[in-house]
Amino acid sequence: MHASRWIATLPLAVGLLALHPTTAAAQDPRLERRLDSATLQSVSAVIDSARLQGLPVEALVQRALEGAAKHAAPAQIAAAVRRLAMELATARQALGPASSPAELDAAASALRAGVGPADLTRLRHRRAQSLTVALATLADLVASGVPPDSAAAAVIALAASAGDDQIADFRRAVERDIALGAPPAVAAAVRVDAALRQTPGTPRRP
């Protein structure tokens, strides 16, 4: 079932990649001020397509502005925006159409870090509250060196009952342990077990 869902995102991904610059419609004035005309057309086409798909576009605008601020090459900016659009599309496919822009943005970061879409879907099914902090924690743990599978297992285990504050505390504890020399996977495993012990009634880590 999951495979068919990921296959369903392919047309969108192909569409985003194949968009011709002349398809761009309304252009964001912030982009008009900061990008040259060729880059502006290319980026606006991706943004327009994402908007048509119902994806949040502010993250795309910000990624283009980041590239402009860092004086990146036009092709680099366009590629970064295109890649983020595809990650947002995959994130929405994994999390569902009701996902908030903040959740999709965090999920795109997790995907970029190496977390699989199936783990995002498991996280959605496991947690009733907003996923923004849980997804951001997932991405941050992988960026800290925790293997994606270990990070996903830990966050999914916490997700059912832990609040955002507890999940953020868990991330800080893991990062502190890693900074003190602990192997990232071990730090995540030890800290999630400790966190689960502090949350009565929480099922053990899968």
Partner 1 sequence: MFDRDEDVLDRVIDQLRQPVEMDPTLDTAIMTRVAAGGDRVGRLAAVWEWAWRPREISVSPLAGLGLAAALVGIVVWLAGRNPRVGPPVAGPSTVQFVVVAPGAASVSLVGDFNDWDGAATPMHAARSGALWSVTVPLTPGRYRYAFLVNGSRWVADPAAPRVPDDFDAPSSVVTVGG
Minimum CB separation of residue 91 from partner 1 in Å reads 12
Stretch that binds partner 1, among 16-24, 43-51, 73-81, 149-157 (CB under 8 A): 73-81
The two three-digit tokens of residue 59, written as one number = 């993250």
- Please list every residue from 91 through 150 that binds partner 1, using CB under 8 A: 101-102, 105-106, 109, 112-113, 130, 132-133, 136-137, 139-140, 143-144
Buried b (16+ CB within 10 A) or exposed e, 14-35: ebbeebebeebeebbeebeebb
Q: Does 182 bind partner 1 (CB under 8 A)?
A: no
Minimum CB separation of residue 165 from partner 1 in Å reads 7
Rounded CA separation 78/73 (Å):
9
Tokens 């059912």 belong to 160
Contact with partner 1 (CB under 8 A) among 48, 149, 164, 169: 164
In the bound state with partner 1, the residue whose beta carbon lies nearer, of 138 and 156, is 138
Minimum CB separation of residue 35 from partner 1 in Å reads 12
Query: Residue 43 to residues 22, 74, 105, 132: CA-CA distances in angstroms?
Result: 11, 9, 18, 26
In the bound state with partner 1, the residue whose beta carbon lies nearer, of 149 and 164, is 164
Minimum CB separation of residue 31 from partner 1 in Å reads 10
Of the candidates 140, 106, 146, 101, which has an alpha carbon nearest to the alpha carbon of residue 123? 106
The two three-digit tokens of residue 38, written as one number = 């060729």
Please list, in sequence order, all residues whose beta carbon lies within 8 angstroms of the beta carbon of residue 196, skipping any fewer than 6 positions away. 157, 158, 202, 204, 205
Rounded CA separation 47/57 (Å):
6
Count of residues interacting with partner 1 (CB under 8 A): 36
Q: Using CB under 8 A as the criterion, which residues of the chain lie in contact with partner 1 when the complex forms?
A: 30, 59, 62-63, 65-70, 72, 76-77, 79-80, 83, 101-102, 105-106, 109, 112-113, 130, 132-133, 136-137, 139-140, 143-144, 164-165, 168, 175
